[in-house]
């Protein structure tokens, strides 16, 4: 079916009937009466096989209301179609301003990040003087690049934003985003200064108690988490060598960076952002599991005989099972936190649940008994952790509120 667009903007209507001529004796001139008018919006003609099958009168107010309702009901495909009609057929209308921006948000929520990028670019081109909202759109573009795993373009957007005079929250968002983009490109030496500066700016601002309440904890939590991830990777990348002296050095190195990463992860939890707190606690448990596996798989001293190797491995496992106790404790605390937050569908809660159950089964099969029950309270009280920020805001009549980076 072909759709034809006819821009019927104004139609003139006159009342039917016979006009009555004025009386010859009337001297007073009568004011000229204008014919009543009716303003119409664009009209669509749906043509199939050369015949008009359906006509559709477009109304900007109804279109915008229907689009907003569809967005709120998470009917993103329908919202996208309606917003596209607005920006195409009513480009100069005041609603078009929000429609351009909301079209990007609808595509983001529909996971069509390429289309979302184009929508935000069109918004910036159409309204270049809307400084605050152009800033929001550029942050959303960086978020789309991240979702597409295009970390160099994402970094370039954050870097260009950092050249501007930004408010503190915006500057922290851009710094944290740029730091993560460098981390994802394995450019750790360039990522660390950006991540550390984000944390430093937050802590400096947080010394003012009144200002601390208004600070968003998303960027600083992200930055602290990826700072910990750098130390975590250093711990993981070091392998045990066969020489006993070298093995001792390797163990000291791994233990050092495990503790550094753990302290940084605990720092992430103290910022009390729900999603990043659960991610950090999961990583702590994962590190202790990793250290256990690395030690068990480490080369056996060459001087050992076959019978001695078997005894050595059993004694070693019994000696280091405390590492698995720590891993299980971290996972258990994470599940308690998730339960307190009501984060049933969080990816970190799901990952923690699977890892906890698998490790518990391995522990009982290997050591023949239940694990040591934790007596301490959870690392972070669930009620004290803030809910995670949404990845995108809902439709508005204005292009406002830029959500924090992913």
Residue pLDDT, tens place only, 20-31: 344 444 444 555
Whether residue 356 is contained in a domain is answered as yes
For 128, other C-beta atoms within 10 Å of its C-beta total 9
Whether residue 10 is contained in a domain is answered as no
Average pLDDT over residues 283-294: 97
Query: Number of structural domains, the chain?
Result: 1
Whether residue 66 is contained in a domain is answered as no
- Structural domain of residue 246, as residue ranges? 230-389
pLDDT band at 61 (very low <50, low <70, confident <90, very high): confident
Q: What is the rounded CA–CA span in Å between residue 154 and residue 205?
A: 26
Scan for tokens 């601390």, then name that residue: 212
For 64, other C-beta atoms within 10 Å of its C-beta total 24
Average pLDDT over residues 14-39: 45
Whether residue 316 is contained in a domain is answered as yes
DSSP 8-state code for residue 265: H
Residue 56: its pLDDT value, please? 47
Q: Sign of dihedral through CA atoms 115, 119, 120, 121?
A: positive
| Percent of residues, the chain, with pLDDT higher than 90 | 62
Whether residue 353 is contained in a domain is answered as yes
Whether residue 264 is contained in a domain is answered as yes
| CA nearest neighbour of 337 among 289, 257, 268, 262 | 268
Residue 380: its pLDDT value, please? 36
Phi, psi of 2 (to 5 degrees): -95, 140
Q: What is the rounded CA–CA span in Å between residue 101 and residue 96?
A: 9
Q: What is the rounded CA–CA span in Å between residue 175 and residue 194?
A: 6
Residue 384: its pLDDT value, please? 39
- Say which residue, 50 or 331, is predicted with more confidence: 331
DSSP string for 284-311: HHHHHHHHHHHHHTSPPPTT--HHHHHH
Whether residue 383 is contained in a domain is answered as yes
Whether residue 124 is contained in a domain is answered as no
Average pLDDT over residues 204-211: 87
Average pLDDT over residues 273-301: 95
Instruction: Name 3's bridge partners.
Output: 46
End-to-end Cα separation, the chain, in angstroms: 41
């Amino acid at each position: 079916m072909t759709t034809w667009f006819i821009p019927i903007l104004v139609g003139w209507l006159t009342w039917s009937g016979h006009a009555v001529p004025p009386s010859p004796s009337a001297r007073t001139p009568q004011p000229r009466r204008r014919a009543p008018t009716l303003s119409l919006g664009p009209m669509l003609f749906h043509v199939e096989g050369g015949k008009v099958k359906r006509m559709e009168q477009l109304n900007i107010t109804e279109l915008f209301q229907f689009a907003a309702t569809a967005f709120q009901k998470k009917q993103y495909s329908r919202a996208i179609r309606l917003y596209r009609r607005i920006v195409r057929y009513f480009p100069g209308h005041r609603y078009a301003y929000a429609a351009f921006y909301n079209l990007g948000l609808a595509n983001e929520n529909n996971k069509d990040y390429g289309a979302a990028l184009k929508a935000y670019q069109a918004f910036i081109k159409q309204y270049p003087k809307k400084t605050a909202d152009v800033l929001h759109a550029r942050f959303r573009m960086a978020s789309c690049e991240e979702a597409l795993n295009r970390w160099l373009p994402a970094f370039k957007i954050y870097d260009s934003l950092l050249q501007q005079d930004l408010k503190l929250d915006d500057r922290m968002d851009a710094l944290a985003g740029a730091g993560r983009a460098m981390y994802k490109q394995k450019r750790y030496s360039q990522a660390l200064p950006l991540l550390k500066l984000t944390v430093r700016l937050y802590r400096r601002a947080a010394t003012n108690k009144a200002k601390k309440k208004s600070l968003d904890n998303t960027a600083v939590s992200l930055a602290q988490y990826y700072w910990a991830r750098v130390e975590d990777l250093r711990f993981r990348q070091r392998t045990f060598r066969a020489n006993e002296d070298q093995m001792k050095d390797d163990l000291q190195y791994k233990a050092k960076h495990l503790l550094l990463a753990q302290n940084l992860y605990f720092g992430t939890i103290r910022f009390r952002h729900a999603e990043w707190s659960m991610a950090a606690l999961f990583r702590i448990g994962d590190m202790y599991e990793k250290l256990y596996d690395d030690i068990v798989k480490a080369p056996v001293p060459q001087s050992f005989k076959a019978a001695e190797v078997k005894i050595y491995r059993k004694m070693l496992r019994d000696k280091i099972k405390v590492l698995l106790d720590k891993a299980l404790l971290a996972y258990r605390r994470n599940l308690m936190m998730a339960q307190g937050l009501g984060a049933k569908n969080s990816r970190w809660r799901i990952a923690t649940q699977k890892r906890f159950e698998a490790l518990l089964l391995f522990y009982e099969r290997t050591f023949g008994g239940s694990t040591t029950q934790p007596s301490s309270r959870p690392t972070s009280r669930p009620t004290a952790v803030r809910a995670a920020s949404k990845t995108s805001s809902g439709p508005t009549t204005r292009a406002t509120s830029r959500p924090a980076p992913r």
